[in-house]
């Protein structure tokens, strides 16, 4: 999918790909679409194709008066009915001639906010500012998803105290995997931001420099939050694996105790049921006496096991 936008009178309008000072948003394109965009804008085809590799690392590339930025942006993924994890995918930003091009494998919240006019100060004429706004929006979404992971971890922690199932542990594993993706991607994004800050890869005014500092601050905060949550989650998983095992052991202990208690009446009746002469076997109340004796022995065993904390 290829769509071109341009701000006219502070409003984002759909325009033709060949218009100057436009934003061309490319989502999971075909080879033919990429070739056409390359011919219309002058963007290098390898620049357009690079962000479509899901394993592409964040970087900056400059060639023939055009610059390519690749960063990792967070996305939501569903695994199963109730398991939501987060992943990251590459987002490419290409500034070439009078065109601002974004390339991604799928639609992301970061870019959708610009399309839905959630970002009020968007101007496709200010390409440096637009790129920095995308970087800043990406960092804020990392923080937003990290806060959700933190809340979800707390919910799972409360549900695990009496659990003997692996479902919550599997959900924790999914969250831990999300944090691993986030930490790796955020550190790679930070390297890109620092390179922009150190070099003159983008012409910047004072306001742009302030915005870049904000981007770096948000990115560092997200890295710290991700690492802290990851450490907490690792400790929780170890602790809750032990809790689940302990809960299961308690159940097995109770079952073993119940089995022993239920075996006592069986043993007593089996003893008196043997085809051998027994005292008082002619007494008509013998069966009732045997039953009462069995119950008393079982109750005594139950009391002793409870006293020894074996039940």
| Domain limits, the chain | 2-247, 248-307
CATH homologous superfamily of 2-247 equals CorA soluble domain-like (3.30.460.20)
The single-letter DSSP state of residue 56 is P
Q: Cα–Cα distance between 12 and 4 in angstroms, integer?
A: 10
Which residues share a beta bridge with 293?
none
Is the pTM higher than 0.85?
Answer: no
Please report which helix (H) or strand (E) contains residue 89, including its range: strand 83-96
Specify whether the CB–CB gap between 146 and 225 falls below 8 A.
yes
Specify whether the CB–CB gap between 58 and 192 falls below 8 A.
yes
Count CA atoms closer than 13 A to 48's CA, side-chain side: 27
H helices of the chain, in order, are 31-41, 45-49, 109-115, 127-160, 167-198, 206-272, 286-307
Please report, in tens digits, the pLDDT of each residue of the chain (311 residues total).
Answer: 888 888 887 788 788 767 777 889 999 999 999 999 988 888 899 999 999 998 899 999 998 889 999 999 999 876 655 566 889 999 999 998 888 999 999 998 888 888 887 667 788 888 889 999 999 999 999 999 999 988 888 887 777 665 556 677 778 888 888 899 999 999 999 999 999 888 878 888 888 889 999 999 999 999 999 999 888 888 877 777 777 777 778 788 888 888 888 887 877 777 766 666 666 666 677 677 777 878 888 888 888 877 777 66
């Amino acid at each position: 999918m290829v769509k071109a936008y341009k701000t006219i009178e502070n409003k984002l309008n759909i325009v033709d790909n060949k218009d100057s000072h436009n934003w061309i948003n490319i989502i999971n394109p075909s080879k033919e679409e990429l070739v056409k965009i390359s011919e219309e804008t002058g963007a290098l085809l390898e620049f357009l194709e690079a962000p479509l590799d899901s394993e592409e690392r964040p970087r900056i590339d400059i060639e023939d008066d055009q610059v390519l930025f690749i960063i990792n942006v967070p996305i939501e993924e569903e695994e199963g009915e109730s398991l939501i994890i987060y992943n990251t995918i590459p987002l490419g930003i290409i500034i070439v001639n009078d065109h601002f091009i974004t390339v991604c494998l799928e639609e992301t919240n970061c870019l959708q906010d610009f399309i839905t006019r959630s970002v009020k100060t968007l101007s496709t004429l200010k390409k440096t500012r637009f790129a920095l706004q995308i970087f800043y929006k990406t960092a804020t979404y990392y923080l937003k998803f990290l806060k959700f992971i933190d809340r979800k971890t707390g919910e799972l922690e409360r549900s695990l105290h009496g659990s003997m199932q692996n479902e919550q542990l599997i959900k924790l594993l999914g969250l831990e995997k999300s944090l691993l993706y986030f930490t790796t991607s955020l550190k790679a994004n930070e390297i890109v931001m620092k390179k922009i800050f150190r070099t003159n890869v983008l012409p910047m005014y004072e306001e742009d420099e302030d915005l870049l500092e904000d981007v770096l601050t948000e990115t560092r905060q997200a890295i710290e939050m991700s690492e802290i949550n990851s450490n907490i989650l690792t400790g929780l998983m170890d602790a809750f694996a032990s809790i689940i095992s302990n809960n299961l052991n308690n159940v097995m202990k109770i079952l073993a105790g119940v089995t022993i208690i239920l075996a006592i009446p069986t043993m007593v009746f089996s003893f008196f049921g043997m085809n051998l002469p027994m005292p008082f076997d002619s007494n008509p109340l013998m069966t009732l006496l045997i039953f009462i004796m069995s119950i008393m022995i079982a109750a005594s065993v139950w009391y002793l096991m409870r006293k020894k904390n074996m039940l």
